[in-house]
Structure 1
Amino acid sequence: MKGFIGARQTTLASEVSLTGTGVHSGAPVSISLCPADDNTGIRFLLSNGHGDTEIPADQRSVTGVNLCTVLGDGNGASVATVEHLLAALHGLGVDNAQIEIDSCEVPIMDGSAAGFVEAIDDVGLAELEAPRRFLKVLKPISVEDGGAHGELVPNNGFHLDVEIEFDTPLIGTQRIEIDVNPGSFRRELARARTFGFMKDVERLWAAGLALGASLDNTVAIGDDRVVNREGLRYSDEFVRHKALDAVGDLALAGAPILGAFRSRRGGHRLNMLVLKALFADADAWTMIEAPRYREVRHAELSHRLAAANFAAERS
């Protein structure tokens, strides 16, 4: 199984806390990323002043995909803009964590996953006893949504092929293909920021959205230039951010995917349509477990060395 390090599940080695602002609400947010037992998965624990509400990071919890991905409990509690944090956890190979949050929106940080990656790297990962579980794609699943196309096909690792097309020479058509693992995620995707068009800002504000958006957390696109003084972090930062979003959205499968995801002119809605189409077809996927160390024998040493270096692999 290429692309994933370690045969056993992981969690955070210790708790780490962050503060920031909700990009849509504009409200201050505090979150804590906490260790969790094996087979817990990723779970959000919302503090609302009247007790705590737990929402699993699972495709069945998705209640919104307009501008960001929103998870809800079915009774009115929700947490929005989860995709960048989930991308960081999934991209670095964190299987289990509890995310304690005091707001209804994950902080936007600098518009990328870099702040979350740094926090996770600061505490490192701990290996658990249970074998890592994978979602293996068994046959192609394809979705058309207007002018967008998405699919998942069988593959021995997690591969992304994302293409975007915007009617502006500042973006145009961009495409990225990448085998996602902790190293490639850090180098190629983690720092890619969210972006938006200046002409859309007033419309979003009128709708009560993007109240926390600024040049500190969004790549702003004007009529003929990128407004941010520092420019772009990658020449194709726009498509890299769409790939980052895809990593976060597909993390809602609940386990690392063994499959290749292809997206054309997509976004959160398409990502979720593909994932839901996969789960709707029981013949299209299966869950498998990595072999336990005692079963791999001669490979045991290399697995242990890989796991020991997991948290230290940075770029």
Structure 2
Amino acid sequence: MTMTDVRRQHTLAEPVELSGIGVHSGKPVSMTLHPAEDDHGIVFLRSEDGKDYEIRASHKVVSATELCTVLGDPSSVSVATVEHLMAALVAYGVDNVLIEIDGPEVPVFDGSSAAYIDAFEQVGLKQQRRARRFIKVLKPVRIENGQSYAELRPFDGSRFEVEIDFDTPVIGRQKFSGDLSPAVFRDELSRARTFGFMKDVEGLWAMGYALGSSLDNTVVLGDDEVVNPEGLRYPDEFVRHKTLDAVGDLSLAGAPILGLYRSYRGGHRVNINMVKALFADPDAWEYVEEAPTRTVGHGELPAGIAAAAFRADVS
């Protein structure tokens, strides 16, 4: 069996073009994901007032976490709602990419990461020469915020255990546990959509949020039912989407994390604060170039991930 070398950095084999609307702005946006050289990292490129601005995908430049994760300065140049794209990139092992975007918000598509997965499977990945760096968790680190908490613990691989607890019978208490791999992300997380409550919509609109939200890109909850006529994609779609968000937010550490991430009643703020707490303790982590013991082969990878097939044109 041909194996993909998880010890090496990867980029996209071809550019990927995508377009849609922003879930909060409601405005159309287009972006192109360009292959990038070794050690480039994940960087957003925005043009504003005739100038180009680069915003690195890093927890250090997170400026807001209320309803989504925002990178950069919202009063000048920023990129919002990056979590679904970031989750797909880190789960599929994309280390280096330049994301050229013509607006302040990443398109929402159907509220999940499915569009990115489709695009990545079309073009495939290109293995690069430089070694991939991992962030290895050396000891437990925990944060608490009221009833919410999160912790990172040493683990041979990358594992997520996410639990939510909503005071509504439509959601209730749900938990997702799983080791992160391209196949697990594709099959168990990527299609889980963002969700919201009908009773909150008018308030969000008044604050300038959710202007692009609809039944096409959001699971909408009434008092005791899911409003979307097609229902749910997974019985526990809500916790799966919260896990997807956590994968995306933790990717802002700047390298894949080798550790177990566990959270209860978390969200973007808790996820980002967990990354900051990890880096605040220099004894809790280290950079390594060793791959997880469990090697991923093509049998666990989506078709086309190892080689380019054709240019994606996803809209």
**CA drift at 1:5:** 5.4
Match of 1:13? 13
TM-score by length of 1: 0.91
- Aligned-partner SS, 1:142: strand
Alignment of 1:174 onto 2:152: no
Match of 1:114? 114
Amino acid at match of 1:234: Y
TM-score by length of 2: 0.91
**What pairs with 1:175-190 in structure 2 (closer than 5 Å)?**
175-190=175-190
Match of 2:310? none
Alignment of 1:306 onto 2:289: no
Amino acid at match of 2:163: E
Match of 1:197? 197
Match of 1:208? 208
Report if the CA contact (8 A) 1:5-1:307 is conserved: no
Q: Which moved more, 1:87-96 or 1:40-49?
A: 40-49
Match of 1:295? none
Amino acid at match of 1:306: G
Unaligned runs of 5+ in 2: 306-315
**What pairs with 1:21-32 in structure 2 (closer than 5 Å)?**
21-32=21-32
CA separation of 1:217/1:74 partners in 2, compared to 1, >3 Å: closer, same or farther? closer
Deviating beyond 3 angstroms after TM superposition, the runs of 4 or more aligned structure 1 residues are: 305-311
Match of 2:98? 98
> What does the per-residue CA deviation read over 1:192-234, in whole Å, with 9 as the maximum and x for residues that have no partner?
0000000000000010110000000000000121000100000
| Count of aligned pairs between the two proteins | 301
Report if the CA contact (8 A) 1:183-1:313 is conserved: no
CA separation of 1:193/1:201 partners in 2, compared to 1, >3 Å: closer, same or farther? same
CA separation of 1:164/1:194 partners in 2, compared to 1, >3 Å: closer, same or farther? same
Distance of 2:7 and 2:110 partners within structure 1 = 33
Q: Percent identity?
A: 58
Distance of 2:121 and 2:47 partners within structure 1 = 26
Match of 1:280? 280
Distance of 2:200 and 2:237 partners within structure 1 = 19
**CA drift at 1:309:** 8.1
Q: Which moved more, 1:74-83 or 1:60-69?
A: 74-83
Distance of 2:73 and 2:42 partners within structure 1 = 14
Distance of 2:78 and 2:59 partners within structure 1 = 14
Report if the CA contact (8 A) 2:183-2:301 is conserved: no
CA separation of 1:170/1:63 partners in 2, compared to 1, >3 Å: closer, same or farther? same
Match of 2:44? 44
Distance of 1:110 and 1:91 partners within structure 2 = 19
Distance of 1:52 and 1:38 partners within structure 2 = 22
- Aligned-partner SS, 2:210: coil
- Aligned-partner SS, 1:201: helix
Distance of 1:75 and 1:66 partners within structure 2 = 16
CA separation of 1:5/1:199 partners in 2, compared to 1, >3 Å: closer, same or farther? farther
**What pairs with 1:221-300 in structure 2 (closer than 5 Å)?**
221-290=221-290
Distance of 1:308 and 1:235 partners within structure 2 = 26
Distance of 2:102 and 2:138 partners within structure 1 = 39
Q: Which moved more, 1:67-76 or 1:134-143?
A: 67-76
- Aligned-partner SS, 1:287: strand
Amino acid at match of 2:39: N
Amino acid at match of 1:69: T
Report if the CA contact (8 A) 1:125-1:311 is conserved: no
Unaligned runs of 5+ in 1: 292-298
Report if the CA contact (8 A) 1:8-1:290 is conserved: no
> What does the per-residue CA deviation read over 1:83-109, in whole Å, with 9 as the maximum and x for residues that have no partner?
000001011111111100000000000
Match of 2:134? 134
Distance of 1:166 and 1:62 partners within structure 2 = 26
Distance of 1:160 and 1:72 partners within structure 2 = 27
Distance of 2:5 and 2:299 partners within structure 1 = 10
Amino acid at match of 1:245: D
**CA drift at 1:76:** 2.5
Amino acid at match of 1:312: A
CA separation of 1:237/1:67 partners in 2, compared to 1, >3 Å: closer, same or farther? same
Q: Which moved more, 1:190-199 or 1:66-75?
A: 66-75
Report if the CA contact (8 A) 2:182-2:300 is conserved: no
> What does the per-residue CA deviation read over 1:232-290, in whole Å, with 9 as the maximum and x for residues that have no partner?
00000000000000000000011111000000001000001111000111111100113
Q: Which moved more, 1:66-75 or 1:99-108?
A: 66-75
